[in-house]
Amino acid sequence: MMLHIPQVLSKPAVAELRALIDAADWIDGNATSGSQSALAKRNEQLPEGSEAARLAGERVLDALARSPLFVTAALPQTVFPPLFNRYGGGQAFGTHIDNAVRQTRTGDLRIRSDLSATLFLSEPEDYDGGELLVEDTYGVHEVKLAAGDLILYPASSLHQVTPVTRGVRTASFFWIQSMVREDARRALLFQMDIAIQQLAGKVGAGAPELVSLTGTYHNLLRMWAEV
């Protein structure tokens, strides 16, 4: 399942975060690449252990925790500390797939990457190119979102970032280990949860049929969750 989550960060929050990270020192993005990704990747990255990355990452994590749509869709067990990258001057990231297991630089956290996420921090009109292209069984999906919006997609997907030919594309990226490992099961739970919320607004949360449906949701989650 691929999902656009709007306004994870407000425009003022984006501006504050950008002021923090733009003033920091950036390094070659291959600092966190595997051998295969390094062949396709040309960008800059905020050093994982830097103070700016830590503070900015905390702001992103706080925003994610306040996003009901993100929590409903991802069912997060662990969110990898957000990283930050930028592309300009023709930089790009060719077609690749994310590592199945991600570990922090210090080795104190290791997760299974069920979901990948990109939080856009540049307005689309501020740069040309830089589209995120995600492949699945239905074809290639092109993503270029407003600053503060997030795209969530299976980490098993082939994807790329096209060359940025004007301006700079800045974003946060990270991975999520979900309580529910399988994408198809997460999608079913997401659809059911959204339907429950919509029905609650129409028939009331105490309607017997809605209570029964809510029970079914939680029993499926109980059956599938790894916690």
What pLDDT does residue 33 have? Answer: 55
Question: Between the CA of residue 24 and those of 57, 62, 166, 203, what are the distances in Å?
Answer: 14, 21, 22, 52
Other C-beta atoms closer than 10 Å to the C-beta of 61 total: 15
What pLDDT does residue 49 have? Answer: 87
What pLDDT does residue 204 have? Answer: 87
- Percent of the chain, pLDDT > 90? 89
What pLDDT does residue 200 have? Answer: 93
What pLDDT does residue 35 have? Answer: 55
Q: Return the CATH number of the domain spanning residue range 3-178.
A: 2.60.120.620
Q: Which two tokens stand for residue 184?
A: 């198809």
What pLDDT does residue 40 have? Answer: 80
CATH 4.10.860 range(s) for the chain read: 183-224
CA distance 150 to 143: 10
CATH 2.60.120.620 range(s) for the chain read: 3-178
Question: What is the mean predicted confidence (pLDDT) over 211-216?
Answer: 96
Q: Which two tokens stand for residue 193?
A: 């949860």
CA distance 126 to 197: 36
Q: Return the CATH number of the domain spanning residue range 183-224.
A: 4.10.860
| Residue among 81, 22, 23, 18 at smallest CA distance from 49 | 81
What pLDDT does residue 205 have? Answer: 85
Residue 38 has pLDDT above 70, yes or no: no
| Helix or strand holding residue 150 (H, E) | strand 150-154
What pLDDT does residue 29 have? Answer: 84
